[in-house]
Amino acid sequence: MAVPKRKTSPSKRGMRRSADAIAAPTYIEDKDSGELRRPHHLDLKTGMYRGRQVLTPKADA
C-alpha cells in the first residue's frame, strides 16, 4: 500500500484546494443587443466592444 513519505504542508494543501473556490463564469446582458456576453469581451453577434465596431457582424446561418 502506498503511504506518503512526508506530511502535506498547509500551504501545499491550500494550493491544491484553491481550485474549489472557482465560481461559474459570469455573464452580463449587453446594453445594445440584449444578448448575454462575458464582461470585458466583445459581442460576437454584433461585433461591438465598448461602443465601437471591432469586427464585422456574424452572418446568420
Ordered per-residue pLDDT tens for the chain, 61 residues: 899 999 999 999 999 999 999 889 999 998 878 889 999 998 888 888 888 999 888 675 4
> Is residue 31 domain-resident?
yes
> Is residue 41 domain-resident?
yes
Residue 43's pLDDT is: 85
What is the domain count for the chain?
1
> Is residue 38 domain-resident?
yes
Residue with cell 494543501: 13
Residue 35's pLDDT is: 86
The CA distance from 26 to 18, in Å, is 19
> Is residue 35 domain-resident?
yes
Range of the domain at 49: 25-56
pTM: 0.54
Residue 45's pLDDT is: 84
What are the φ/ψ torsions at residue 34 (nearest 5 degrees)? 80, 0
> Is residue 20 domain-resident?
no
Rounded to the nearest 5 degrees, what angle is found at the Cα of 29, between the Cα atoms of 19 and 45?
100
> Is residue 14 domain-resident?
no
> Is residue 34 domain-resident?
yes
> Is residue 3 domain-resident?
no
